Amino acid sequence: MKNRIKYSKIIAGTMTWGSWGKNLSRAEMAELLGYCVENGITTFDHADIYGGYENEQAFGNAFLHSKIPRDQIQLITKCGIQYLCEGRDNKVKHYDYSRDYIVWSAERSLSKLKTDYLDLFLLHRPSPLMEPDEVAEAILQLQKEGKIREFGVSNFSPSQIALLSSRVSVSANQVEFSLTADRPMYDGTFDDCILHKRMAMAWSPLGSYFRENNRIRKRIKKVIKKLKKKYDANSSQILLAWILKHPSMVHPVVGTTNKKRLKTSLKAMEINLELEDWFLLLVASQGHKVP
C-alpha cells in the first residue's frame, strides 16, 4: 500500500460521539476511546463539521484526559464543507478549498484535537471550483511542516482524484459503501484504489439494512438468516464480512458508540465468506442475478 501508517482495519467513526449523537461527557468519551484502543481499534475518524464544528474539541479534551500516548492512535479528519450552523457565518452550504482555508482548517483541527500532527487529512467532498494547484500548495506546506503525514479525499470520483494526484500524492479515499450501497465496485472507485494503492474506507458500512424495512432488507435478511448459523455470526458481522472480502482491502468506519457492537465488529475480520455466499448476498441486495 502507498500509505505507510498502520491504520486499524476497523476504524471508529466519531460523528455521533458528540452533539450529533450520544453527546458523551469528557469522561465517557475518554473511557470509550480507551476501550477502542484496548480492543485494537486505534484509528479514529473525524471531520471538522461534526457536532457543528465542536466534536474535535470534545474528543481532544477526552484524549488528554485518557492519558493514551499519541503514537498509539491514528487521527483522521476532514475539511472543506462550509456548514450552516451557529459556529459559522455562512449563507449557504458550500465548499472552500482555497490554499489559506485548507491550511487554517488543518491547524484548527490540530488545536482542537490536542495533537501536533494528523495521520491522515482528507478533503471532505469534491467542489466544482476546486483548483488542484491551490490544494497541492496547501497540502505540501502542511506536510513539510510536519502537521499532516498523509493526504486523501472523501467521496471523490476516480477522475477527480486523478486531477488532484497530478499535483500531489493522494493516499486514501473514503466513500459510502455497503451491501446496499455498492456503487464504488462499479464506478471505478475501488479499481482506482487497487491500481494506485490507495487506502479504501467505507462510511455507513451497514448501509440501510437496519434503517429501512423494505423488500431489499427482506431479501437480504432471508440470506443472512442462513449465513448466521453457518458462520456463527450476527447480522452486522455478516454485513461487515461482505465488505471486508473486497480486494480493495476496505477499512469500514464503524459509527456506533456501543462498546458491545464495537467489539462485535472486530470479529467480522475472522469471517471469510465463501465465494457463493458473497454473491448470494449481492444478488439478494440487487434483486437480480449478476449479468
Active-site residue list: 50
Quick one: DSSP state of residue 5? S
Amino acid at 70: R
Nearest-angstrom CA–CA distance, 12 and 283: 29
Nearest-angstrom CA–CA distance, 104 and 253: 26
- For the record, the C-alpha cell of 232 comes out as 456463527
- DSSP reduced 3-state for 196: helix
Nearest-angstrom CA–CA distance, 39 and 34: 9
Nearest-angstrom CA–CA distance, 19 and 37: 23
Nearest-angstrom CA–CA distance, 224 and 274: 13
Quick one: DSSP state of residue 257? -
Residue 153 host element (H or E): strand 148-154
Nearest-angstrom CA–CA distance, 210 and 254: 14
Sequence-separated (6 or more) residues with CB below 8 Å from residue 109: 46, 48, 56, 77, 79, 118, 121
Gyration radius (Cα) of the chain, Å: 19
Contact 244, 206 (CB under 8 A): no
- DSSP reduced 3-state for 208: coil
